[in-house]
Amino acid sequence: MATTAHRTLSIRSDAENIPPEKDTVMHTEFQHRGGMSPEDVEFLASFPDERKKEAVRKVDLRLVPMLVQLYLMAYLDKTNIGNAKIEGLPKTLNISNIDYNVAVSIFFIPFVLAEYLNRQPLKQKPTAHLSYDEGLHLVKSFLQFASHHTVEELQAFTAQWVPHPQWVRVDEITIADQLLEKAAALLQAELGEEGIARVGGRRVDRDESALPRAQKNGDPGKRVMLYVHGGAYFFGSVDEHRYQMQRHARKLKARVFAPKYRLAPQFPFPCGLQDCIAAYLYLLTIQEPNTIILAGDSAGGGMVMSMLCTLRDQGIPLPAGAILISPWVDLTHSFPSVAGDTPFDYIPSSGFHHKPSRAWPPPNEDDLAMMEEQAAKKKKGDKGAAKPSTLEAKQGNPFELETPEGHDAQGDPIAKPEAPLEADVPKTSVLLSVTINGKLTTVKDQIQ
């Protein structure tokens, strides 16, 4: 009880100059700040010292392991620890520099042990790493979120400017038209007449001579990586992949040359492939092919594979090697995992679907035929060509009707239009046909 009286006296000592009517208020405020009732204060005061030590030790055994893990995770981020010191952590805690250094390095041994243990999963598959699982769910969530937006919005989001560190030099180079035309000629020779017809006709009608090699004006022995970014051929950018390209350059002690190739659907195949081949032809004008390696991730890896096949078939000097990071080379979706909901696949099992817009989805064969028909009628001065439009009639009755040859869906005779130029109207010579319930069905809206 003597101890309790002493505690009560110490409480009153802070308020000895306060009038008696305010004594109760001050005492209540103190108890509120302390968080203990008078009974708790009395119990703690009478608690034996040995029992106090046992209680503290019991609490420490439960808290210290968790704090060690938190401290270890914080130690990994040395930047924040340094910032904490700059912001006045030692002054706030009233510790000296020596105390701060001891506190930072006291768990250095567990950190070293954790580093050694962390090397063991490296011998296993990448799926054994926590970072792999985090990245997998991040990409899957992003693609799911992006499906609620248009293709144009996704392209704009992934093409935002990303700053680069001061120690990274970035130069922009414009590929000459001569190289683009040469790349187009190579693609024409590679695709052949059938392939050219399937992609919509020839883009370059001139017969190009062999590309003259320019005078080397740089170090011919300096290595360079031609990196093609991924993004399913319709989104992504060089800025989006800037960080990993910086790491490639640092690890290889080489330069990275990344083409800003054109994306679908605004620029369909083979526009992107033409740009990438032109970028490789540019590198051949300034250095030897054995100092160049090609690299790409996802769709970029598939683009690199297409580049290598085209360069090989057309007799262009091949690079020293290629790095394909999870390349997308199965464009026919022939593997069973495409349709399955595998937990280790970041691509949606349903494919890429986005909110409809002017750029996507594209018109199918029937829509293109209707557009040609309406354009021909309008060209001949038919004021009723677009109303009611054939497209609206099709939307009102989506089933294909039996109409006489040479007549439209309304039964009106179709004026035979003038033959358009091959490059004006894209053609698809091969459509997928499958047999369903004994009936041959042609799939005209097969888009990906």
pLDDT tens by residue, 155-182: 999 888 888 888 888 888 888 888 989 9
Residues 404-419: tens digit of each pLDDT: 455 554 545 555 545 4
Give the model's pLDDT for residue 5: 39
- In a domain, residue 341? The reply is no
Give the model's pLDDT for residue 276: 95
Phi, psi of 292 (to 5 degrees): -120, 135
Q: Which of 292, 325, 358 is the last residue of a domain?
A: 325
- In a domain, residue 127? The reply is no
- In a domain, residue 336? The reply is no
Closest to 232 (Cα-Cα) out of 179, 163, 292, 300: 300
Closest to 204 (Cα-Cα) out of 189, 226, 223: 189
How many angstroms separate the Cα of 256 from the Cα of each of 45, 48, 332, 405?
Answer: 71, 70, 31, 58
Task: Kindly compute the dihedral angle of the four CA atoms of residues 75, 78, 79, 81, in this order, to the nearest 10 degrees.
Answer: 50
Give the model's pLDDT for residue 74: 60
Give the model's pLDDT for residue 324: 94
d(CA 422, CA 195): 13
Classify the phi-psi angles of 298: left when phi > 0, otherwise alpha if psi is within -120 to 50, otherwise beta: left
* Under 8 Å between Cβ of 296 and 327: yes
Give the Cβ contact number of residue 292 at 10 Å.
22
Give the model's pLDDT for residue 343: 72
Q: How is residue 331 annotated by DSSP? A: T
- In a domain, residue 401? The reply is yes
Domain count, the chain: 3
Same domain, 211 and 307: yes
Q: Which residues contact 136 (CB under 8 A, 6 or more apart)?
A: 344, 346
- In a domain, residue 380? The reply is yes
Give the CATH number of the domain where residue 207 resides: 3.40.50.1820
Same domain, 303 and 190: yes
* Under 8 Å between Cβ of 121 and 127: no
Give the model's pLDDT for residue 80: 63
Q: Which of 90, 112, 134 is the last residue of a domain?
A: 112
Same domain, 106 and 182: no
d(CA 253, CA 156): 32
- In a domain, residue 88? The reply is yes
Give the model's pLDDT for residue 360: 82
**Residue found under tokens 């392209």:** 155
Domain residues for the domain of 21 are 2-112
Q: Which runs of E-coded beta strand occur in 179-304?
A: 224-228, 255-257, 292-297
Give the model's pLDDT for residue 2: 40
Q: Which residues contact 351 (CB under 8 A, 6 or more apart)?
A: 448
**Residue found under tokens 């950018």:** 237
Same domain, 268 and 185: yes
DSSP bridge partners of 227: 295
Radius of gyration for the alpha carbons in the chain, expressed in angstroms and rounded: 35
Same domain, 310 and 199: yes
Give the model's pLDDT for residue 25: 44
Which segments in the chain show pLDDT lower than 70?
Answer: 1-36, 70-83, 103, 106-111, 114-129, 199-221, 337-342, 382-431, 445-448
Closest to 354 (Cα-Cα) out of 269, 173, 232: 232
- Which amino acid is present at 88? G
Same domain, 211 and 268: yes
Same domain, 299 and 421: no
- In a domain, residue 266? The reply is yes
User: What is the β-pairing status of strands 439-443 and 432-436?
Assistant: antiparallel
d(CA 64, CA 374): 78
Same domain, 384 and 320: no
d(CA 319, CA 406): 54
Same domain, 321 and 390: no
Same domain, 187 and 72: no
Q: Where are the alpha helices (H) located in 106-224, listed in sequence order?
A: 108-118, 130-146, 151-158, 177-198
Residues counted in the chain: 448
- In a domain, residue 345? The reply is no
Same domain, 181 and 319: yes
Same domain, 29 and 107: yes
Q: Which runs of E-coded beta strand occur in 241-315?
A: 255-257, 292-297
Q: Which of 267, 297, 325 is the last residue of a domain?
A: 325
Burial call 377-391: b when 16+ CB within 10 Å, e when fewer: beeeeeeebeeeebb
How many angstroms separate the Cα of 155 from the Cα of each of 63, 297, 356?
Answer: 48, 17, 14
